Chain A
Amino acid sequence: MLTNAIAISALLFMLAIALNFYRLIIGPSIPDRLAALDTMYVNAIGAIILFGMWLNTTLYFEAALLIAMLGFISTVAVCKYLLRGDIIE
C-alpha cells in the first residue's frame, strides 16, 4: 500500500518539477523564472524525503534539510541582485 502511495507521489512530484521547469523556460520575466526555480527546490525536498521513506532510512533527511536551509539563499542572492545589483553592500 505504502509502496504504491510513494510511487504515485514520486510521479506527481516529478510532474510538478517538470512543470516548474516549463515555467523556467518560458518565463517571461526574470521573477517568474526565479519563482519557478525556488518552487523546484521545494519539490526537490519532497522528492528526496520520499526517496528516504522508500529506502526506509533517515540518511536523506539531512540532504532535505540542507536544501531547505541553503536552497533559498541562492534565491535570496538573485533577488538581491535584481533589486540592488550589488548583493553584499
Chain B
Amino acid sequence: MTLLLIVLLPLVGSLVPIASARSGRTTCAWLTAILPAIALGIAAWYTPAVFGGQLPQVSLDWVPALGLDIAFRLDGLSLLFVYLVLGIGLLIILYARYYLSEKDSMSRFYAYLMLFMTAMLGIVTADNLLLMWFFWELTSLSSFLLIGYWSHLSEARKGARMALTVTGAGGLCLLAGILLMGHVVGSYSLTTVLEHRELIQQSSLYQPILLLFLLGAFTKSAQFPFQFWLPHAMAAPTPVSAYLHSATMVKAGVFLLARMYPVLSGTDEWFYIVTLTGLATLLYGAFFALIKQDLKGVLAFSTISHLGLITLLFGFNSKLAAVAGVFHIINHATFKASLFMAAGIVDHECGTRDIRKLNGLWRYMPYTTVLAAVASASMAGVPLLNGFLSKEMFLAQSLEAQMLGGLSWMIPALATLGSVLSVAYSLRFIHDVFFNGEPRDLPKTPHEPPRYMRLPIEILILLCIMVGILPGIMVEPILRAATAAVVPGQAPEIHLALWHGFNLPLMMSAIALSAGVLVYLLRNHIYRFHRQFRAVNARQSFEFSVQRVVRSAQWGLDRFENGSLQRYMFLLLLSAVIVAAFGLMDVPSMAGLKSLQPLDPVVVTGAGILCLAGLGTVMLHRRRLLSLLFLSVVGMFVSLTFARFSAPDLALTQLAVEVVTIILLMLALFFLPQKTPKESSGRRVSRDILLSMIFGGVIASLNYAVLTRPLQSISTYFIENSVPGGGGHNIVNVILVDFRGFDTLGEITVLGIAGIAIYKLLNRLRLFMPSSDMEGRPWSPDRYPVILSSVSQTLLPLALLVSVFIFLRGHNLPGGGFIAGLVAAVVIILVYMSRGVEWTQRRMSFNYQPIAVTGVAIAALTGLGSWVFNKPFLTSSFGHFDIPLIGDIELATAMMFDLGVYLTVVGSTLMILANLGKVTTPHRPSKEKQ
C-alpha cells in the first residue's frame, strides 16, 4: 500500500500550494516540495528490493467489470522514471521559485506542476493499461494548463491548444490500441499483457495495435511528422519547458516504447516504422536546431532530435540497443533540463532569447557560462561526460543494424551525420550566446542569477560529470534493473566504461566532433541555403487547418440542420419508415396466429371519434384555439382507451397531463398570433401527406403484426417480482420507483432542470399583450369571476387530499408520486387562474425552485442511502409496521423516492406555469368596458 503513496502524495500536494498561497513565495515553494520529497524517499526505500529483482505491486478494484483496476507496480523501468520525475521535479520547484516574477501566481503554477507530476508518476507506475491511459490523458491536460500558464499571451494559448490537440489525438489512438490489446489478451493488466508476447504478435490485430500504440508514443514524444507542436510549446515558462519538454512528458512516448518493448518489438514492422521515424526525427531536429535563432527553439529542436535518437535505438531489434535507449533517456534528461534552466537564466537576466542579440555573456555571468558549457559538451558527446557514453553505445548499435540489406551502411552513416549536427548546434549554443563578441541592445544589463536559481543546474551538471566518469558506480545498478523490465528473457551483459579501446564507434565519435566544429564554422553557408526556402510557420498552418476543419464541419452541419422543424420531422419519419418497412418485408405474413377479438360497438365508436378528432386537429391547425379543442378530445379518448384496455395508471396520468398541457397552451396562445399563416407550398403539403400516410400504414401494420402474435415479454418478470422484490402490488409504480428507479431519477432531474431553465428564460421577459381578442371585442372587465373563485377555493383542500391519497396508496393501487404531483400542481394553478398571481402569492409566499430541487435531492439521497447498508445505489427495502390507531401499514424506502418525484413534479410544473402566468401583470393598458 505504501506504493500508492508515490502517486497519491503529489496529488494531495497539488492542493498544498493553493492552501499556502498567502504565506509568502519561499514558504509556498518549501511546503510544496515536502510531499514529493517524501514520495522520493519512499521510492528510495523500495530501491534495494527492486534492485534485488522483486516487483512491488498493489491492486485495488475500481471498475472490475471493465477490467479497470487501481493497480501500480514498481519495476526497474518505473523506478528509473520515478527518480527522474520526482528528482527533476524537486529541482524545478526550486528553480521556479526564482524564475517566476512577482506578477505570476505562484500557487497556480505549483498546483498545475504537481498535478502534472502526479499524472506522470501514474503513467510510469500503472499496472493497468486503462489506468495508464487515464494518467496519459491527464498529462496532456495538465501540460495544456502549464503551456498556457501565461494565458494573456496569444502564442501561449495557441501553443497550448496545439499541444493538446496533437497529444490528445495521439492519446485517443493509444486508447484504441489498448482496447484492441485488451481484446486480444483478455485482460488490461500490464503484468498479464507482458506475458503474452506470442499471443499478441500472432494475432491478426497485431498491426493495428502496433500502429495505434506507435501513434500514441510518437505524438507524445514529438516524432516526425508530429514534431511541430513541441517548438510552439516553448511559449511556456522555462521551468515547464525544462520539466515537461525535456525530462518528463516527451519521455512518456519513449517510455511507452520501452514499456511495450517486450510484447511489441522484434518484428519487421516494428523495426521499419520505429527506426525510420526515429532516423527522420533525429536528422530533422538536428538540422533545425542549427538554424533556429531562438534560444529555446534551438533546445526544442535538439530535444526532438535526441528523442528521435532514443526512438531509433528502440527500433533496432537488439537488446543492447534498448539498454542504450534507456541510458540515453537518463542522460538526455539531465543535460537537457540543465540547458533549459540555463536558457531560462539567460532569458530572465537579459530579457531576450534571440541568439543574434545575445553575445559574449561570459563577462557578465561567467559561472552560468561554465555550467551551460559543460551541459552542451555533454549534449555534443564530449568524453568524460554522460552524453558521450550513450552516444558511443548508439553509434556502436547503429553498426549492428543489418535489416536494410545492402543499404544497411546508411544507418551508421546517417547516425554519424546526426552526431555531427548535434556537435555543431551544441557549439553554437555556447559560442554564439556566451562568446562571439559583445551583446547587442539587450533590454536589461545581464548579471549572475540568484544563488539558488543556479543550484538545480549545479546538481544536474554534477550528475552529468559523475555519470560520465564513473558510470559503473553511478548508473549501472538502476540501468540493470530498468533493462530487466524492458528486455524480455535473459538480460544482456551491461558493461559501462569510458574506454573500450580503439574501435569503429570511437572513430565515428571523433569524426562527429571534428566535423561538427567544421559545420559550425561554415554555418553561414547553411543559413544562406536555408533562406531560399519559404518559411513555413507550423502554428499558422495548424490554425489554418483547424479553422478549415471547423468550417467544413459547419458546412456539413448546415446541410442537415437548417433550423426547419418540418424538415427534421420529415427526415426522422422517413428514416423510421425505411427501417420499419424493411423489417416488415422480412416477416412472411402480417397476421399472426392469434385470433382477433370480437368487435364491440362502444370501442368502434370511440376509435372513430379518436380518428376524426386527430384529423380535425391537423386540418384545423391554422386556427389554433379550435385545433386545441380537438386535441383535448384526442387526449380524452386516449385516456379512455387506456382505461378500457386495463391500464388505469396510464389513464390517470394521461388525464392529468392533458389538463396541464391545455393550461400551458392557453398561456402561450395569448402571446401568439391567433392564426398561423400558410407557410408550405402545395407540393410540400402533398409530399408530407403522402409520407404521413405511408408512415401511418407502416406503423399500423407493425402493430397488427405484433398484436396478432403470441408475445413473450419481460412483463412476467415484473409481475412475479413486484411484491417479493419491491414490496408493492402496483407493478407500474414499483417499476418506476424501484426496478427502473435510476431512469426515474434521471427523468426528474431533467424535469427540474427544464423548470429552472424556463424560469430563467422567462425572468424579466415582457411581451406585447393584445388589448382585444381576435375579433376586436374588448376583454371582459370581470377579472376574477366570483363563482369561479369560490368553487376553486372549495376544491383546493379536497383536491390536495385526493393528491395525498393517490400518493400514499400509489405503491399498491393505481397512483403514485407523478400523478399525485400533477393533481396538486393543477389545482394550485386553478387558484392562480381564479384569484390571480398577487392574491395567491400573498397566501403562498414560497418559491417553487427550492421545492423542485429538494425533490431531486430527496430522491438522490434515498438512492445514496442504500450505500450506508452496503447495497448498490437505489436498493429499496420495505417492511410492515404496526402503528397504533392506524393499524398495520407497509412502509417502503421507495416511498421516500416517490416523495422526491412528487415534490419535483409539483415544483417544476408550478415553476413553469406560474412563471409563464407572471409574464403579464393585471395592471395592463387595455380597452376595458367601463
Which residues of B are found within 8 Å of A86, using beta-carbon distances?
A: 670, 769, 917, 920
Give per-residue flags for A52-68: 1 if the beta carbon is below 8 A from chain B beta carbons, else 0.
00000001101101110
CA distance A1 to B162 in the complex (A): 86
Chain A: interface residue count, which band?
35 or more
| CB closest residue in chain A, given B616 | A25
Partner of A89, one of B625, B640, B921: B921
Can you report 25 residue pairs joining A to B where beta carbons are below 8 Å apart?
A11-B601, A14-B605, A14-B606, A17-B606, A21-B612, A40-B636, A60-B648, A66-B656, A69-B802, A70-B655, A71-B636, A71-B655, A77-B663, A80-B833, A83-B780, A83-B785, A86-B917, A87-B666, A87-B833, A88-B829, A88-B913, A88-B916, A88-B920, A89-B783, A89-B917
Partner of A85, one of B616, B769, B830: B769
B636 near A78 with CB under 8 A, answer: no
Give per-residue flags for A19-56: 1 if the beta carbon is below 8 A from chain B beta carbons, else 0.
00100110000100110010011001001100100000
Partner of A88, one of B626, B782, B833: B833
Instruction: Confirm or deny: B643 has a beta carbon within 8 angstroms of a beta carbon on chain A.
Output: yes
A81 near B669 with CB under 8 A, answer: yes
CA distance A37 to B770 in the complex (A): 26
B830 near A66 with CB under 8 A, answer: no
Partner of B626, one of A11, A30, A51: A30
CA distance A59 to B662 in the complex (A): 26
CA distance A32 to B625 in the complex (A): 13
A67 near B655 with CB under 8 A, answer: yes
Instruction: Confirm or deny: B779 has a beta carbon within 8 angstroms of a beta carbon on chain A.
Output: yes
A44 near B836 with CB under 8 A, answer: no
Q: Taking the nearest CB of chain A, how far is it from the CB of B924, in angstroms?
A: 8
Q: Which of A34, A40, A47, A78 has the most CB of B within 10 A?
A: A78
Q: Taking the nearest CB of chain B, how far is it from the CB of A28, in angstroms?
A: 11
Partner of A18, one of B605, B632, B779: B605
A74 near B918 with CB under 8 A, answer: no
CA distance A78 to B914 in the complex (A): 17
Q: Taking the nearest CB of chain B, how far is it from the CB of A76, in angstroms?
A: 6
Q: Taking the nearest CB of chain A, how far is it from the CB of B830, in angstroms?
A: 5
A17 near B643 with CB under 8 A, answer: no
Interface residues of B in 819-840 (CB under 8 A from A): 823, 826-827, 829-830, 832-834, 836-837
- Other contacts beyond A30-B626, A62-B815, A80-B833: 7, CB < 8 A: A18-B609, A60-B648, A66-B652, A83-B780, A86-B769, A88-B836, A88-B920
| CB closest residue in chain B, given A33 | B629
Partner of B823, one of A11, A70, A77, A80: A70
Q: Taking the nearest CB of chain A, how far is it from the CB of B624, in angstroms?
A: 11
B663 near A73 with CB under 8 A, answer: yes
Q: Taking the nearest CB of chain A, how far is it from the CB of B810, in angstroms?
A: 11
Instruction: Confirm or deny: B581 has a beta carbon within 8 angstroms of a beta carbon on chain A.
Output: no
CA distance A51 to B603 in the complex (A): 12
| CB closest residue in chain A, given B914 | A88
CA distance A51 to B830 in the complex (A): 29
Partner of B633, one of A10, A21, A59: A21
CA distance A35 to B200 in the complex (A): 78
| CB closest residue in chain A, given B625 | A30
Which residues of A are found within 8 Å of B833, using beta-carbon distances?
A: 76-77, 80, 87-88
B670 near A87 with CB under 8 A, answer: yes
CA distance A62 to B918 in the complex (A): 33
A89 near B922 with CB under 8 A, answer: yes
* Those 7 A-B pairs whose CB atoms lie nearest each other, nearest first: A88-B917, A83-B780, A74-B662, A14-B605, A89-B922, A77-B666, A70-B659
Instruction: Confirm or deny: B667 has a beta carbon within 8 angstroms of a beta carbon on chain A.
Output: yes
What DSSP secondary structure best describes chain B's contact surface?
helix
Partner of A74, one of B612, B658, B783, B832: B658
Seen from chain A, the residues whose Cβ lies within 8 Å of a Cβ on chain B are: 10-11, 14-15, 17-18, 21, 24-25, 30, 33-34, 37, 40-41, 44, 47-48, 51, 59-60, 62-63, 65-67, 69-71, 73-74, 76-78, 80-89
Partner of B609, one of A17, A67, A71, A89: A17
Instruction: Confirm or deny: B861 has a beta carbon within 8 angstroms of a beta carbon on chain A.
Output: no
| CB closest residue in chain B, given A59 | B648
A63 near B648 with CB under 8 A, answer: yes
| CB closest residue in chain A, given B838 | A89
Which residues of A are found within 8 Å of B655, using beta-carbon distances?
A: 63, 66-67, 70-71
CA distance A66 to B658 in the complex (A): 12
Instruction: Confirm or deny: B630 has a beta carbon within 8 angstroms of a beta carbon on chain A.
Output: yes
Q: Taking the nearest CB of chain A, how far is it from the CB of B893, in angstroms?
A: 25
CA distance A83 to B658 in the complex (A): 22
A37 near B629 with CB under 8 A, answer: yes
CA distance A69 to B795 in the complex (A): 8
B666 near A78 with CB under 8 A, answer: yes
Q: Taking the nearest CB of chain A, how far is it from the CB of B480, in angstroms?
A: 81
B640 near A44 with CB under 8 A, answer: yes
B779 near A70 with CB under 8 A, answer: no
Q: Taking the nearest CB of chain A, how far is it from the CB of B910, in angstroms?
A: 11
Partner of B652, one of A25, A63, A82: A63
Q: Taking the nearest CB of chain A, how far is it from the CB of B227, in angstroms?
A: 66
A88 near B770 with CB under 8 A, answer: no
Which residues of B are found within 8 Å of A51, using beta-carbon distances?
A: 643-644
Partner of B663, one of A14, A15, A34, A74: A74
| CB closest residue in chain A, given B601 | A11
Instruction: Confirm or deny: B522 has a beta carbon within 8 angstroms of a beta carbon on chain A.
Output: no
Give per-residue flags for B756-793: 1 if the beta carbon is below 8 A from chain A beta carbons, else 0.
00000000000001100100000110110100100000
Which residues of A are found within 8 Å of B643, using beta-carbon distances?
A: 48, 51, 60, 63
Known pairs A18-B605, A70-B656, A85-B770; A62 contacts B780 (CB<8 A): no
A14 near B601 with CB under 8 A, answer: yes
B605 near A17 with CB under 8 A, answer: yes
Instruction: Confirm or deny: B148 has a beta carbon within 8 angstroms of a beta carbon on chain A.
Output: no
Which residues of B are found within 8 Å of A71, using beta-carbon distances?
A: 636, 655, 659
Instruction: Confirm or deny: B613 has a beta carbon within 8 angstroms of a beta carbon on chain A.
Output: yes
Which residues of B are found within 8 Å of A62, using beta-carbon distances?
A: 648, 652, 806, 814-815
| CB closest residue in chain A, given B795 | A69
CA distance A51 to B600 in the complex (A): 13
A76 near B609 with CB under 8 A, answer: no
Partner of A47, one of B640, B670, B836: B640
CA distance A57 to B803 in the complex (A): 21
Instruction: Confirm or deny: B572 has a beta carbon within 8 angstroms of a beta carbon on chain A.
Output: no
Instruction: Confirm or deny: B651 has a beta carbon within 8 angstroms of a beta carbon on chain A.
Output: yes
CA distance A65 to B652 in the complex (A): 10
Instruction: Confirm or deny: B813 has a beta carbon within 8 angstroms of a beta carbon on chain A.
Output: yes
Instruction: Confirm or deny: B58 has a beta carbon within 8 angstroms of a beta carbon on chain A.
Output: no
Known pairs A51-B644, A88-B918; A77 contacts B779 (CB<8 A): no
A88 near B814 with CB under 8 A, answer: no
CA distance A62 to B802 in the complex (A): 9
Which residues of B are found within 8 Å of A70, using beta-carbon distances?
A: 655-656, 659, 823, 826
Q: Taking the nearest CB of chain B, how far is it from the CB of A42, in angstroms?
A: 11
Partner of A37, one of B632, B827, B834: B632
Which residues of B are found within 8 Å of A74, using beta-carbon distances?
A: 632, 658-659, 662-663
Which residues of B are found within 8 Å of A10, using beta-carbon distances?
A: 602
A33 near B626 with CB under 8 A, answer: yes
Which residues of B are found within 8 Å of A66, using beta-carbon distances?
A: 652, 655-656, 802, 823
Instruction: Confirm or deny: B892 has a beta carbon within 8 angstroms of a beta carbon on chain A.
Output: no
Partner of A44, one of B636, B662, B669, B795: B636
CA distance A30 to B8 in the complex (A): 73
Instruction: Confirm or deny: B515 has a beta carbon within 8 angstroms of a beta carbon on chain A.
Output: no
CA distance A85 to B833 in the complex (A): 12
Interface residues of B in 651-691 (CB under 8 A from A): 651-652, 655-656, 658-659, 662-663, 666-667, 669-670
| CB closest residue in chain B, given A70 | B659
Which residues of A are found within 8 Å of B630, using beta-carbon distances?
A: 24
Which residues of A are found within 8 Å of B667, using beta-carbon distances?
A: 87-88
B779 near A85 with CB under 8 A, answer: yes
CA distance A39 to B629 in the complex (A): 13
Partner of B670, one of A30, A40, A65, A81: A81
Q: Taking the nearest CB of chain B, how far is it from the CB of A2, in angstroms?
A: 16
Instruction: Confirm or deny: B172 has a beta carbon within 8 angstroms of a beta carbon on chain A.
Output: no
Which residues of A are found within 8 Å of B666, using beta-carbon distances?
A: 77-78, 80-81, 87
